[in-house]
Amino acid sequence: MKLPYAEPFRIKMTEEIHQSTRAEREQWLKEAHYNLFNLKSSQVFIDLLTDSGTGAMSDKQWAAMMTGDESYAGSKSFEQLQETVHKITGYTYLLPTHQGRAAENVLFSVLVKEGNIIPGNSHFDTTKGHIEFRKAHAVDCTVDEAFDIDNLYPFKGNIDLDKLEQVYQTYPKEKIPFCLVTITCNSSGGQPVSMENIRQVKELSDRYEIPIIFDAARFAENAYFIKTREKGQENRTIKEIAKEVFSYGIGMTMSSKKDGLVNIGGFIALKDEHLYREASNFTIIFEGFITYGGMAGRDMAALAVGLDEATEFGYLESRISQVEYLGHQMMELGIPVQQPIGGHAVFIDALRFLPKIKRQEYPAQTLANEIYKEAGIRCVEIGTLLADRDPKTRENRYPKLELVRLAIPRKTYTQNHMDYIAAAVKNVFDRRSAIEKGYQIVWEPNILRHFTVKLEEI
């Protein structure tokens, strides 16, 4: 009998979480103005809002916390982090930052100018924010397969080479500071980019003399998918794959809250000393001195260990198999989910789940709220609330898909929790025809409304 995968760790410390009654949850949700971001974590039983900074650390990471060096300049913890980043990415120059968007802020302050064009694969929200804040434009060149949630294409994070070349032909190279490759592609559902695609993007970009930068928040999960799905890669280690991927870029921004396996932190890593010098100035203004950049020494020490552990196959197999397990549970129960299941989350298709709810009544938000009421599970809307209004017309922008994302924190929940989640969603699915009304907005801010919007039941 083939042995199933099992977590390559055991649990040494636990944290109590509380079950509540449906009546309590209905009251709390009302008090939260039907916005799950407004709930207290104590009102949540299983929290799937995000996988960012919500994971558990290993005993070795906790041990590293105790030996963190808090020197302002040149700390040992910085050196450890630099060595590890160099070993894994091949990049020599490291600038720590307090999280991923801060790395974007620092690096883009050097590279992105008004009127610039930044092609890439479904840029992440904060990344797009930092591009548009500088009056530059992000051009999405993701393959079309990404937008069909039933398409089983194994690398739905890939860049469409024709779309990319179109951008390179339309604008002069002075206008395109870099091509941004996001691994895995968060906005298309934690979908991976293949090694072959990265090589092709590199070759094409070389012809137009455009460098590549990686948004590498989930680079280890991406390497796992390359190893397990791409022909010719199966016998390589995760670290070998990651290093080859990074060899095609001039640098990376990182949100350490994902594949760094820590609760806070980020960094920029670069090949080139000149670019590093320029970015250093912005690090000092925005983040802190160049050897800590907003991070405590102990957090850098834990991150150094975390990066090493995140790039081990056993950990990645248990991580991604757990997400897959939940996705397959739901598929067996007939729940419409995005396929293939992504690396960090399961996405439910709310339009198919709740066909009676009109687009202007926020079907994905309605579904997320129903799942909370059902079982105290908090997930997040990736739909019309998130897509926000058109800045000019102030009309709702209706994205192609209305999704509910169930993001799985790393090393935090057990298989029983996954079964519980699947059962809860199934219960909502069974009573879906009784869910006939959604929500309307009673108050919203001017931008990024999903975080603070207030809703009421129709």
Ligand X SMILES: *Cc1c(COP(=O)(O)O)cnc(C)c1O
Contact residues: ligand X, CB under 6 A: 52, 99-101, 124, 126-127, 182, 186, 215, 217, 255, 257-258, 266
124 noted as active-site residue: yes
13 three-class SS:
coil
Examine the residue annotation and report whether 217 is marked as an active-site residue of this protein: yes
Instruction: Give DSSP secondary structure letters for 183-216.
Output: SSBTTTTSB---HHHHHHHHHHHHHTT--EEEE-
| Alpha-carbon gap, residue 11 to 330, rounded angstroms | 26
**Who contacts 368 (Cβ-Cβ below 8 Å, separation ≥6)?**
36, 378, 379, 380, 381, 404
Q: In the complex, what is the shortest distance from the CB of residue 368 to ligand X, in angstroms, rounded to a whole number?
A: 19
Q: Which of 215, 259, 299, 388 is catalytic?
A: 215
CA distance 405 to 47: 11
Catalytic residue among 258, 271, 344, 411: 258
* Residue in 125, 206, 390, 419 annotated catalytic: 125
- Taking only Cα atoms into account, the Rg of the chain, rounded to an integer number of angstroms, comes to 22
CB of 375 to ligand X, least distance (A): 26
Which residue's Cβ has the minimum distance to ligand X? 100
246 is catalytic: no
- Which CB sits closer to ligand X, 354 or 379? 379
Our CB check for ligand X shows the closer of 100 and 438 to be 100
Q: Which two tokens stand for residue 384?
A: 């019309």
CB of 203 to ligand X, least distance (A): 24
Is 450 marked active-site?
A: yes
Instruction: Indicate if 72 belongs to the active site.
Output: yes
Residue number, 159 or 424, with CB nearest to ligand X: 159
Pairing mode, if any, of strands 403-407 and 345-349? antiparallel
- Catalytic-residue membership of 308: no
What is the nearest approach in angstroms of ligand X to the Cβ of residue 349? 21
Nearest to 77 by CA among 306, 276, 275, 263: 306
Write down the least CB distance from residue 287 to ligand X, Å: 12
Handedness of CA 233, 234, 235, 239 (dihedral sign): positive
Comparison of 214 and 315: residue with beta carbon closer to ligand X = 214
CA 328 to chain centroid: 21
Rank residues 158 and 182 by Cβ distance to ligand X and give the closer one.
182
Of 6, 30, 60, 72, the catalytic one is 72
Choose the catalytic residue: 34, 45, 91, 124.
124
**Residues designated catalytic:** 72, 124-125, 215, 217, 258, 450
